[in-house]
Structure 1
Amino acid sequence: MFGLTFEKLLLIGILAVFLLGPERLPYYASQLARLVKNLKKMADGAKDRMREEMGPDFDDVDWKKLDPRQYDPRRIIREALVEEVTTPSAPPVAESAYMKRKRRLEEEGRRAPFDAEAT
């Protein structure tokens, strides 16, 4: 949770007790609880709305593939620039979405879309 350990949370709590004092601490604690509840409600509402709009496809989506931490620009550039060399002894490498789309377009006999005005 944002790199906060138990010790750091305890230190924040102790500082809050000294800075706010015993009179104002219950009020701010209830405000924090209300904020956390509202954030949870908003996240659940967004999830429910997404599930409602996507329909049954929502459960089929592999959310781990869409995780931006999986993005590796070096691999994408390497796949885009290097020709595929197939050797029978090499283990299969997971294809990126770019390579899958490129292969699909080549099989259909089409080229990738190009926008001359974008350059």
Structure 2
Amino acid sequence: MFGLTPEKVLLIAVIAVLIVGPERLPLYASRFAQFIRWLRDLARGAQDRMREEMGPEFDEVDWKKLDPRQYDPRRIIKEALLDDEPAPVLSAPSVRTRAEKPAVQQSHRSRLESGEYSGPPPFDAEST
């Protein structure tokens, strides 16, 4: 719990008792208990709302798998590199002059999506 050992918690409690004093200690203890109950109800309400909005999929989610402490960048990169299918070998496109280019061209994205364009991304030597 936040790196606190039982000895540290006990020391904090003793200091709090000395600072607050025996007269106000029951009042602060009851307020602290109410605050803890309020936090617990808030968390339970959020969980119930998520279960209600997600439906049956909420129980199927593996929440431990989504824990950010389990993310290892090396493992993620390794899995991403090994899971992908090998990239197709691209042939070099023929170089055309400006006069040889057709007047109306499809966008590069549509050509890539249709599979018509299989070369490397276009390069404009005049732009740099």
Q: CA separation in 2, counterparts of 1:51 and 1:79?
A: 31
Q: CA separation in 1, counterparts of 2:78 and 2:44?
A: 39
Regions of 4+ moved over 3 Å? none
1:64 aligns with 2:68: no
Q: How does 1:94-109 map to 2 (within 5 A)?
A: 99=83
Q: CA deviation at 1:26?
A: 1.3
Could you tell me which residue of structure 2 aligns to residue 91 of structure 1? none
Could you tell me which residue of structure 1 aligns to residue 41 of structure 2? 41
Q: CA deviation at 1:37?
A: 0.4
The percentage of aligned residue pairs carrying the same residue is 65
RMSD: 1.8
Structure 1's unaligned 5+ residue stretches are 85-98, 104-109, 111-119
1:3 aligns with 2:3: yes
The one-letter amino acid of 1:36's match is I
Q: CA separation in 1, counterparts of 2:37 and 2:53?
A: 24
Q: CA separation in 2, counterparts of 1:32 and 1:62?
A: 33
Could you tell me which residue of structure 2 aligns to residue 13 of structure 1? 13
TM-score, normalised to structure 2's length? 0.60
Q: CA separation in 1, counterparts of 2:21 and 2:77?
A: 56
Q: CA separation in 1, counterparts of 2:79 and 2:61?
A: 24
The one-letter amino acid of 1:2's match is F
TM-score, normalised to structure 1's length? 0.64
Q: CA deviation at 1:66?
A: 0.5
Q: CA separation in 2, counterparts of 1:76 and 1:7?
A: 39
The one-letter amino acid of 1:69's match is R
Q: CA separation in 1, counterparts of 2:5 and 2:34?
A: 23
| Structure having the higher Rg | 2
How many residue pairs end up in the alignment? Answer: 86
Name the one with the larger helix percent.
1
Q: Over residues 63-111 of structure 1, what are the superposed CA-to-partner deviations in whole Å (9 max), with x where a residue is unaligned?
A: 111010111112223344x4x4xxxxxxxxxxxxxx4xx56xxxxxx7x
